[in-house]
Amino acid sequence: MKMEHFKIYHNTRCRKSREGLAILTSVTNQFEVVDYINNPLSKLEIKDLLLKLGIKPL
The domain of 37 spans 6-53
Rounded-to-integer distance, Cα 45 and Cα 38, Å: 15
37: in domain: yes
Contact in structure between 16 and 8 (CB atoms under 8 Å): no
Residue-wise pLDDT for 21-33, tens only, equals: 999 999 888 899 9
pLDDT of residue 29: 86
Amino acid residing at 50: L
Q: Where is pLDDT greater, at 1 or 31?
A: 31
Q: Report, as an integer, the average pLDDT of 48-55.
A: 95
Residue 1 in any domain: the answer is no
Domain assignment of residue 34, yes or no: yes
Q: Which pTM does this prediction carry?
A: 0.74
Domain total in the chain? 1
Judge whether 38 lies within some domain.
yes
Residue 58 lies in a domain: no
User: Is 10 inside a domain boundary?
Assistant: yes
